[in-house]
Structure 1
Amino acid sequence: MSALDELRATAHPIRLRLLSLLTGAAMSAAEAGRELGLSQATASYHLRALERVGLVEVVELVRIRGGEAKRYRHVSSARPFDPSPAPRDPSSPGATRPDDQEERAQYIEALIDELRRRSGRRAVGPQLSTDAELWVDDETWQRVVRHVGQASALLHARARPPRTPGTSPVSMTAALFALRRP
């Protein structure tokens, strides 16, 4: 599947929540639905959409009341972080096409909705919020992208099932991208 297919699949707040949930534990649609306050049918619908683009996969089948339930796991967070820059030339392969802009806008709106939901649950403890639109050299930019990517990979690798003793729920939202020159 392409990056655009993944972008389309994640352009929904429920799917973003499912990906976060399934990073720490494999769950069935019913289990994920209970955790997120959704019906099993709603969770199942969104899990199938994520499975189609390869963002979650079935990692086990469990017997429940005479039937079988699929347990899903978010797999893409286990991919090694690739710090190589995206193409800057709009005509180069893989560059964002104008028709991709609506998909990207929907994804950003889903991120905004999710950030609003999470920010209402802020707890006391270490926090960092930052916003910047700056001019920096390419080396500095690559270092920042690499460090944030590594931090994200660390969080995903160490994620545990909800309410595991000794853990706390945390949130990380980052959107790093180069801007076109004015």
Structure 2
Amino acid sequence: MPAAPRHPPRSQEDVVGLRVLAHPLRLRLLSLLTGRAYSAAEAARVLDQTQANVSYHLRRLLAAGLVELVEEVEVRGGTAKRYRHDPDSGGRLTADSTAEYLVVATALGEELRRRAADRAPDSLGELTDAELWLDPEDWHGIRERARRLGEDLHAAARPPEAASAGAVRVSATVVLFEMTGGGDAGAGTAGSPEPDGGPGPGPRPASRTGGEGSAASAQGSPASGSGGGGSSAKRSTP
């Protein structure tokens, strides 16, 4: 998925809706094209898709500026175009509405289920999920560390054929965003009376952390993933 934006979009013409990511195959393409450049035919073979299907989604990603043409090579008397994903391109994405963000979240969920089905038995990993309240300075620092983590993942990405040299196939999903409801911060907090006058404490934030898993997810903003408007999506897919 694309990196969190470092700078605002250069102009209104640069802004692309987050909805462009709302298809699991596009997320897989972005991950694949992080490791190295592929043509539509090459990517189709790796992803077990038809070339026509991959070509269609590549065109959409190219139009959004999430992939770029990096070379053209002669093949069997024709020309094959190879594309590469720049993780920093996510800075041009923005979520214009909650509905748009929900569409992307659904695609991310489908992709995570697909990957989870391929989780290696007894694999080491991290799984974190939380809905909680944070001080603004802590929230800012956590987002910054998540951005750097995404950059590290993309910088270390290898193509699938590197598996023969010992590279491991991994899944990484990081979704951070700020939620609504700030005006009710004082209601039902620990140690305060319940709304009906009953004794505290009130509800505590839901938080779950585990030492095993193939994905890390935290909620509370691109990814990456994924773009402006407090969201970021980074992939290796991605």
Report if TM-score (shorter chain) is over 0.5: yes
Which residue of the partner structure matches residue 158 of structure 1?
A: 156
d(CA) in 2 for partners of 1:79 and 1:30? Answer: 23
Which residue of the partner structure matches residue 86 of structure 1?
A: none
d(CA) in 1 for partners of 2:178 and 2:16? Answer: 18
- State the SS of the aligned residue for 2:151: helix
Say which of 37, 44, 62 aligns to 1:51.
62
The answer to whether the aligner puts 1:2 opposite 2:8 as a matched pair is: no
- State the SS of the aligned residue for 2:137: helix
Contact 1:78 1:157 in 2 (8 A): no
Unaligned runs of 5+ in 1: 82-93
The aligned runs of 1:1-182 (5 Å cut-off) are 1-4=14-17, 7-75=18-86, 77-78=87-88, 97=96, 100-123=97-120, 124-164=122-162, 165-181=165-181, 182=184
- State the SS of the aligned residue for 1:178: coil
d(CA) in 2 for partners of 1:67 and 1:163? Answer: 25
> Computing the radius of gyration over CA atoms, which structure comes out larger, 1 or 2?
2
1:90-138 deviation digits (Å, cap 9, x = unpaired): xxxx7x54xx232211111100000000011112332111110111101
1:64-93 deviation digits (Å, cap 9, x = unpaired): 110001000001x14698xxxxxxxxxxxx
Highest relative contact order (Cα 8 Å, sep 6+), 1 or 2? 2
Q: Give the letter aligned to residue 22 of structure 2.
A: A
More strand by share: 2
d(CA) in 2 for partners of 1:27 and 1:64? Answer: 13
Identity score, percent: 48
d(CA) in 2 for partners of 1:158 and 1:122? Answer: 20
- State the SS of the aligned residue for 1:48: helix
Q: Which moved more, 1:117-126 or 1:146-155?
A: 117-126
RMSD of aligned residue pairs (Cα, Å): 1.7
Change (3 A) 1:52 1:80: closer
- State the SS of the aligned residue for 1:155: helix
TM-score when normalising by structure 2 = 0.65
Q: Give the aligned length.
A: 164
Change (3 A) 1:13 1:47: same
Change (3 A) 1:55 1:34: same
1:41-65 deviation digits (Å, cap 9, x = unpaired): 1100000000001000110001111
More helix by share: 1
